[in-house]
Amino acid sequence: MPVDPVALTADLVRCPSITPAEGGALVHLEKVLTEGGFHCTRVDRGGVANLFARWGRQGANRTFGFNGHTDVVPLGDEAAWTMPPFGGQIKDGYLFGRGATDMKSGVAAFAAAAIDFVAETPPDGAIILAITGDEEGDATDGTTALLDWMAANGERMSICLVGEPTCPDVMGEAMKIGRRGSMAAFFTVTGVQGHAAYPHRARNPMPAMARLMDALSSRALDEGTDHFDPSSLQVLTIDTGNPATNVIPAQTHATVNIRFNDAHDSAALTAWMQGEADKVAADFGVQVAMRVKVSGESFVTPPGALSDLVGKAVEAETGVKPALSTSGGTSDARFVKDHCPVVEFGLTGKTMHQVDERVKVDEIRQLKAIYARILRDYFG
């Protein structure tokens, strides 16, 4: 009997797998995949649950990979939900619940497609499912742990499809062939505290921070590249915490976020910011400390065989030719790209991370059909 991706999505939504809790989602998937003929291995690391599943011979001449996650973001204001957030209930053609869109439906669709495919037409090759419980969190012990384990155990995907929601409004309209890089920089400017009436006895860090933030945010990083929009630096906060009206503070803090395209890497951007910080420190006679956190580098999978494979299947099942996009935030494709060529395709993501997150039931079935066609075309 074919695996129902709607029922499987509902089962997964009922698992309260808020990062980093496993919540029963991977336990259930392991049972379903094992019954479907997949060899499953838990690859837990750092308190994070991960699942590796393979059908077929290790080291096969070609191995198709799927990647996804079962962890979800917190509920927000639970009282604002009109449907139980972990109920997996269907109403008016929609399946409701946290993770319904991002991305338990995607995992259910590719698991169902893979199980049915190997049962109906066992392929000459292998299929790997790499599913993590740490995509919405720090992502240090999720897909990276799976890839590390695969490298240590001789497992390899030839190509990979990440099942994140990629379509803004209409099913089939976009697939991701890359992602912008993402990094944050945290600045602390330290001066000398003093009385506002005697500024010559103090050294105010505020003008220095204002100058630094202006220097960083005023620069146009680039005008965009062949596959990416222009890079963007945004000042997120400037925090001093000074309640007094007559005290020059000793210290102030600021945070910026940069989403950058393939014209840059994090090392070059870090060096540029450090240079600007050093200039401000010298000009104002203050100390400027900077700490950087890199979430991922920019990457692009050049249009070609993989994007054509996915695009043709999407168009065949939806009647819509997907645009090749690099928009949005980060995904675990930023890790997979160091292992093998990777693209992303999934359903519409209009309600992801929102209260009353929901997905059209018909889209879940359509997504399974797309994934099944991709497998048939790849192995056929």
pLDDT tens by residue, 80-135? 999 999 999 999 999 999 999 999 999 999 999 999 999 999 999 999 999 999 99
Q: Cis bond leading into 243, ω under 30°?
A: no
Helix, strand, coil content of the chain in percent (nearest 5): 35, 25, 40
Answer for the pair 186, 291: CB distance below 8 angstroms, yes or no. Answer: yes
Query: Has 71 been annotated as catalytic?
Result: yes
Please say whether the dihedral angle defined by the alpha carbons of residues 361, 368, 346 and 43, taken in this order, is positive or negative. positive
Query: Distance between CA atoms of 347 and 86, rounded to whole angstroms?
Result: 20
The pLDDT of residue 106? 98
Six-digit token pair at 223?
């005008």
Indicate which residue of 30, 71, 136, 357 is catalytic: 71
CB environment 205-233: b (16+ within 10 A), e (fewer): bbebbebbbeebeeeebbeebebbeebeb
Is domain 5-179+298-379 in CATH 3.40.250.10, yes or no?
no
Please count the other Cβ atoms lying within 10 Å of the Cβ belonging to residue 239: 12
Rg (the chain; Cα; Å): 24
Spatial CA neighbour of 13 closest among 320, 371, 361, 314: 361
Question: What are the extents of the domains in the chain?
Answer: 5-179+298-379, 181-296
The pLDDT of residue 233? 98
Residue 140 C-alpha from the chain's centroid: 12
The pLDDT of residue 328? 86
Q: What is the pLDDT of residues 294-322, one digit of tens each?
A: 999 999 999 999 999 999 999 999 999 99
CA atoms within 13 A on the CB side of 321: 1
Q: Cis bond leading into 103, ω under 30°?
A: yes
Q: Which residue has the tokens 């359509």?
A: 366
Please count the other Cβ atoms lying within 10 Å of the Cβ belonging to residue 136: 22
Its CATH architecture, for the domain 181-296, is: 2-Layer Sandwich (3.30)
The pLDDT of residue 191? 98
Q: Do domains 5-179+298-379 and 181-296 have the same CATH topology?
A: no
Concatenated DSSP letters for 309-331?
HHHHHHHHHHS-PPEEE--SS--
Amino acid at 323: A
Spatial CA neighbour of 164 closest among 149, 173, 175, 156: 175
The pLDDT of residue 329? 85
Residue 214 CB partners (closer than 8 Å, separation 6+): none
The pLDDT of residue 252? 98
Per-residue pLDDT for the chain (380 aa), expressed as one digit of tens each?
Answer: 899 999 999 999 999 999 999 999 999 999 999 999 999 999 999 999 999 999 999 999 999 999 999 999 999 999 999 999 999 999 999 999 999 999 999 999 999 999 999 999 999 999 999 999 999 998 999 999 999 999 999 999 999 999 999 999 999 999 999 999 999 999 999 999 999 999 999 999 999 999 999 999 999 999 999 999 999 999 999 999 999 999 999 999 999 999 999 999 999 999 999 999 999 999 999 999 999 999 999 999 999 999 999 999 999 999 999 999 999 888 999 999 999 999 999 999 999 999 999 999 999 999 999 999 999 999 99
Query: Has 102 been annotated as catalytic?
Result: no
CA dihedral 195, 201, 204, 205 (to 10 degrees): -120
Please count the other Cβ atoms lying within 10 Å of the Cβ belonging to residue 101: 28
Answer for the pair 316, 373: CB distance below 8 angstroms, yes or no. Answer: yes
Answer for the pair 195, 303: CB distance below 8 angstroms, yes or no. Answer: no
Q: Where is 162: in which H helix or E strand?
A: strand 159-162
The pLDDT of residue 138? 87
Indicate which residue of 22, 102, 134, 135 is catalytic: 135
Query: Distance between CA atoms of 120 and 26, rounded to whole angstroms?
Result: 25
Q: Where is 288: in which H helix or E strand?
A: strand 287-296
pTM of the model: 0.91
The SS3 of residue 365 is helix
Residue 230 C-alpha from the chain's centroid: 20
